[in-house]
Structures are given as C-alpha cells and as structure tokens.
Chain A
Amino acid sequence: GENVEQHPSTLSVQEGDSAVIKCTYSDSASNYFPWYKQELGKGPQLIIDIRSNVGEKKDQRIAVTLNKTAKHFSLHITETQPEDSAVYFCAALSTGNQFYFGTGTSLTVIP
C-alpha cells in the first residue's frame, strides 16, 4: 500500500516569513495530493490540492509543487500570518481510492 512521510513535524516561523512542508509517497500510481489544515478541535479542512498531471498550483499565499519522478510534493506558504498556525497534513489518493495521510506538521507563526 501507499506510505506517506511528512517533514518537519514542527515548524516555527516569524510572521511574514515563508513556511515549507515536504512529503514523500511510495506508490507511483497515486494521482491526487491534497493538503489539509486542521485547527484545534476541528476536522481537517482542504486548503489546496494537486493532480499528477500538474507540477505546480498556486492559490494566493499558498502553493503546492509536485515532482512525480522523485515522488515528493511540498506545501509553500508565503507571508505567513498568525492565523496560519495549525497542523497541516499532506495526503495521497491511492489506486484503492483511499487517502493515506502524513503524520502532520504543527506550524506556529510567531507575531
């Protein structure tokens, strides 16, 4: 089955700086890679996603890049704000049509 690894597990940045979270996956047949933001006491919220036929996608301050050859994808948040503080999860949709999640990155944006 699919195996998704996520790094780092914790990340602290100064407000206004950029944050980068990286994930690798093992199943080359996986073709959809979403990123979720989870705030305390809430369920994961989809913030951006990318499909395997695209190398990069951007939505305002958030971007995701995908390298299919190396089987890794990354989340980039620019101009971070305190409200970006949360746990971020990457995921991969496997050929079995189920999502495999990374172990999460706790992002703290320091005002």
Chain B
Amino acid sequence: ETGVTQSPTHLIKTRGQQVTLRCSSQSGHNTVSWYQQALGQGPQFIFQYYREEENGRGNFPPRFSGLQFPNYSSELNVNALELDDSALYLCASRPDPMNTEAFFGQGTRLTVV
C-alpha cells in the first residue's frame, strides 16, 4: 500500500450536480496531484498543489477546482457535472515538487448519470 487514501471509493451523481472528492497524502508528503482516468485511457493531469497553493494545472476547465489543507490533505471539486466527467479520479502524493516519485491512491470511481 502507498499510504495515500481517497474517499469515497465510488460515487454516483446526476448531471449538473457538484461533487467533492478527498485525498489524504502519504505522511511527510507536501505535494498532491489529481488525475482523471477515463475508461481504457491513461491518467490525465488535472492540477497539483504544493503547500496549499496550486502550482500546476492541466487542460481542464475552471469548474474543476481544488484545495490543499495545512495537513497536506486535498480536495477535488467539480461543479456542473457532465456525463463525460464519469471516470476514475486519482490522487498522487510526492515528498515535494522536485521529488520525482509519485504514489497513487486507489481512486474514486465517479459515475455521472
């Protein structure tokens, strides 16, 4: 196990709703990244947080937002859910942004109906 935990494991939402996903990073890791993994695809980078500040963002619209807390846990918020948002959402933690090894949680499977 990586020590990165995500909640919930599964979630079903209706189009137009909002969702919050949570991630607890590995102890001592201050950098958390979020990825979206559509079925049959590789993970796509959403954004990264380092010491409570966003320090990198992929090609996702502003309705995807996040937070990082003083204990380095993190949230991913998605507003105005669309059917295409259905995916596995992965959180990865690193000791710091310059450290290359990333450890993933088990993911949250989001289904939008």
Binding site for B on A (CB under 8 A): 4, 6, 32, 34, 36, 41-46, 49, 51, 89, 91, 93, 96-104
Place the interface of chain B in its size category.
20 to 34
Chain B 38-65 against A: per-residue CB contact (8 Å), 1 yes, 0 no?
Answer: 0011111100100000011010000000
Q: How far is the CB of A38 from chain B (nearest CB, A)?
A: 9
Closest to A96 in B: B56
- The answer to whether B102 touches A98, judged by C-beta atoms less than 8 angstroms apart, is no
Chain B 89-113 against A: per-residue CB contact (8 Å), 1 yes, 0 no?
Answer: 0101000011011111111000000
Q: How far is the CB of A86 from chain B (nearest CB, A)?
A: 14
Contacts A43-B2, A89-B42, A104-B41 hold; do A98 and B58 have CB atoms under 8 A apart? yes
- The answer to whether A99 touches B2, judged by C-beta atoms less than 8 angstroms apart, is no
B73 contacts partner chain A, Cβ-Cβ < 8 Å: no
- The answer to whether A101 touches B101, judged by C-beta atoms less than 8 angstroms apart, is no
- The answer to whether B102 touches A46, judged by C-beta atoms less than 8 angstroms apart, is yes
Q: Contacts of A41 on B, CB cut-off 8 Å?
A: 106
- The answer to whether A101 touches B106, judged by C-beta atoms less than 8 angstroms apart, is no
Q: Contacts of A6 on B, CB cut-off 8 Å?
A: 42
Q: Contacts of B26 on A, CB cut-off 8 Å?
A: none
- The answer to whether A34 touches B90, judged by C-beta atoms less than 8 angstroms apart, is no
B33 contacts partner chain A, Cβ-Cβ < 8 Å: yes
Closest 9 CB pairs of A and B: A101-B42, A43-B104, A32-B100, A98-B45, A43-B106, A44-B104, A43-B107, A101-B43, A103-B42
Q: Contacts of B107 on A, CB cut-off 8 Å?
A: 42-43
Contacts A34-B101, A43-B2, A46-B103 hold; do A101 and B90 have CB atoms under 8 A apart? no
Q: Contacts of B105 on A, CB cut-off 8 Å?
A: 43
